[in-house]
Amino acid sequence: MQELLPCFRDWLATQRDEAKALTLLRALADESLKVAGSTDPQQLEFDALDLAQACHWPECDDFDAASKKIKSANLEKYLSSRAADHEAFFVQHGLQHALRVCKRSPSGRHRAQWSLEPYSLASPVAIIDAQRDNEPVEAGLGTDGPQIEYDYATAGTVRPSWLARLLFGDGWFRTKSLRGLLFVCTGLAPMVCAAALVATVWLMLFVKRPVTTADLAFLIFAAGLGWMLWDFLRSLWWLLSDRIVPASDVLLGWREDPAQLESFKDGNARIIGLVRYSATCPVCAATVELRYGEGSERRRLFGCCVEAPQEHVFTFDRVTRRGRRVR
């Protein structure tokens, strides 16, 4: 346990979601590390109040509320959905065991206890993926065929262009910072420009003179510029709403492969960074890149093979980093 807990905590530090389960698992790992050398197994178990206090939740004095909140976090599901990445992290560090959550529910009035227990990576671990079993099969998406796992290049490893370094620095920035304020300005400036274009076109309606070639040229220019501004603002909104959008080539270094802009949390700080999700096509061994779908799927990201982007298409799950073939 003494060598598994630091590795487990390091893996949790690589997770960038906002799930309550992540906060609970970090608290459980920290509390377990404090008593890792104990020979009493009961000291490695913690009830709902212990975990709520470690997370600094307002429910730290209300056992029922804390227990309900921990139950809704679904710690086992959080780990099972990330089992591939979780176990690979332990293997990369030369360990033959990993940690999973164990809940012991005593009888009577005794409180349920939570702990971390090791299990061997040599033998397969049965993981019941209830979400996959219960989700309906979408129209046009088959469940058979090859599946892929996406590789993840963290923020800081994707080099931005010289034009984007002022905003992204080494590849990421905190929203509550000077660069975050600059990022807000990049969103407000297009809005001001779009409003100015609309106001200008509206004022032209009151000019009583024949339409000239200059007027037509200005309207064409305003329509093109307005479309560019709308496309930029839409991408900004999708980044805040969907947490990930494809990054423009202007933001990436000259020799960088296509990457994405991702919004995630590191502790209490909101971070926006350049990351890369990529994979190898199991059909032709070419590179798989993330692209938007078409029609009703235009806001959904798919993994498309660069050699056959219309045929070798896979779904993309940002959480599990897996996908199944669509066509």
For residue 262, what pLDDT is reported? 92
In the predicted model, is pLDDT for residue 135 greater than 50?
no
Among 110, 135, 160, where does a domain finish?
Answer: 135
Closest C-alpha among 264, 238, 259 to residue 153: 259
Q: How many distinct structural domains can be found in the chain? A: 2
| Total residues found in the chain within this entry | 327
Indicate if 241 and 97 belong to the same structural domain. no
- Domain, as residue range, for 275: 152-324
Residue 276 forms part of a structural domain: yes
Q: Which pairing describes strands 172-174 and 269-280: parallel, antiparallel, or unpaired?
A: antiparallel
* Predicted confidence (pLDDT) at residue 142 exceeds the cutoff of 70: no
Structure tokens at 149: 């796992």
Q: Whole-angstrom Cα distance, residue 223 to residue 204?
A: 14
- Span 83-105, mean pLDDT? 88
Same domain, 166 and 256: yes
pTM over 0.75: no
| H-assigned helices in the chain | 4-13, 20-34, 48-55, 63-73, 75-81, 83-92, 130-134, 165-168, 178-204, 213-242
Identify the residue with better confidence: 131 or 168: 168
Distance separating alpha carbons of residues 4 and 302, to the nearest angstrom: 35
Residue 29 included in any domain? yes
Contacts of 237 (CB under 8 A, 6+ apart): none
Distance from C-alpha of 42 to C-alpha of 294, rounded to nearest angstrom: 55
For residues 116 and 291, what is the distance between their CA atoms, to the nearest angstrom?
Answer: 39
Question: Do residues 277 and 152 lie in contact, with contact meaning Cβ atoms separated by under 8 Å?
Answer: yes
Span 289-305, mean pLDDT?
90
| Tokens at 15, concatenated | 């997770």
Confidence bin at 128 (pLDDT 50/70/90): very low
Predicted pLDDT of residue 276: 92
Q: What is the pLDDT of residue 130?
A: 38
What is the C-alpha to C-alpha distance for residues 75 and 70, in angstroms, rounded to an integer?
8
Do residue 176 and residue 307 come from a single domain?
Answer: yes
Q: Based on the domain organization, do 162 and 306 belong to the same domain?
A: yes
Last residue of a domain, one of 103, 135, 167: 135
CA 278-283-286 angle, 5° bins = 45
Q: Is residue 140 part of a domain?
A: no
- Quick one: 177 and 54 in the same domain? no
CA–CA gap between residue 291 and residue 299 (Å, rounded): 10
Does the pLDDT value for residue 125 go beyond 70?
Answer: no
- Cα(188)–Cα(317) distance, integer angstroms: 31
Same domain assignment for residues 178 and 273: yes
126 pLDDT exceeds 50? no
Residue 132 in this model has a pLDDT that exceeds 90 = no
Centroid of chain to Cα 327: 25
pLDDT for residue 303: 93
| Residue with token string 């999708």 | 238
**Residue 145: inside a domain, yes or no?**
no
What pLDDT is recorded for position 300? 92
Q: pLDDT of 195-230, one tens digit each?
A: 888 888 888 888 888 878 887 888 888 888 877 777
pLDDT digits over 242-286, tens only? 899 999 888 888 888 899 999 888 777 888 999 999 888 888 778
Query: Looking at the domain assignment, is residue 318 inside a domain?
Result: yes
The tokens for 1 are: 């346990």
The predicted structure's pLDDT at residue 74: 82
Do 65 and 209 share a domain, yes or no?
A: no
Contact 70, 47 (CB under 8 A): no
Assigned domain for 142 exists: no
DSSP state letters, 152-218: EE-TTTSPBPTTTHHHHTTTEEESSSHHHHHHHHHHHHHHHHHHHHHHHHHHHTT--S---HHHHHH
Residue 33 has pLDDT above 50, yes or no: yes
As a whole number of angstroms, the distance between CA 94 and CA 89 comes to 9
| 161 and 87 both lie in a single domain | no
Residues 88 and 170 both lie in one domain: no
Q: How far apart are CA 320 and CA 84, in angstroms?
A: 8
